Amino acid sequence: MTDHQHAAIVTGASSGIGRAVVERLQADYDYVACFDIETGETDWDDEGVHEFAVDVRDPDAVADAVAAVESVADVAALVNNAGISRAVSLADLDPDEWDRVLDVNLKGQYVVARAVAPGMVERGEGAIVNVSSVADLPLERIGTPEEVADVVAFLCDGASYVTGTVLTVDGGSMLR
């Protein structure tokens, strides 16, 4: 760990919201670690961005990647964005696929948060943002990854008194 370097870890960072979050956080953090099941899919043009091939379901792989990040910078923010979905009916959804969705979308958030939390607690600071997605917005459009990334950046660095809350970024669909 260092005294001055601050890192953000973003899971599911290779595309969509995850990529937009990485691009948005580059300005705020010395080191941005991109955890994704596959690497090399993105051509990051900033030397402060580092890719790690990590399956968020694997506690050992996550612990190793977090340790690598913490060897050069203090993890100040975690954005749990990794997620998968299956566009099939309940009757057609195989139980093994359902387990995989839960393992990535739910267990993955727990595994990565559990790995970064001790350092955050020790330093007395840190932000963990768990992302999920919705569609069918009353604004007559789907929110852009960049719009979500702006909210994530606020939660990571500008909302130190926001704790344990759900911030719905849905273009007003809850108002229906």
Give 10-residue mean pLDDT values along the chain (176 residues): 80 92 93 90 76 96 97 96 86 92 95 97 94 69 86 86 83 72
> What are phi and psi for residue 45, nearest 5 degrees?
-100, 20
Cα-based distances in Å from 93 to 89, 99, 134, 165, 169: 6, 10, 20, 31, 28
Quote the CATH superfamily of domain 6-175: NAD(P)-binding Rossmann-like Domain (3.40.50.720)
Classify residue 174 by burial, with Cβ atoms within 10 Å: 0-12, 13-18, 19+. Answer: exposed
pLDDT of residue 32: 96
d(Cα 13, Cα 34) in Å, to the nearest integer? 5
Q: Which residue, among 34, 33, 100, has the nearest Cα to 72 in the 3D structure?
A: 33
d(CA 6, CA 29): 6
- Which single residue is written with the structure tokens 């702006």? 150
Which structure tokens are listed for 72?
């050069």
Domain boundaries, the chain: 6-175
Residue 119, both tokens = 């350092």
Please tell me what DSSP assigns to residue 146: H
Name the one residue in this structure whose structure tokens are 């130190």: 160
Token readout for 74 is 């203090």
Contact 137, 169 (CB under 8 A): no
With contact defined as beta carbons under 8 Å apart, do 61 and 55 qualify? yes
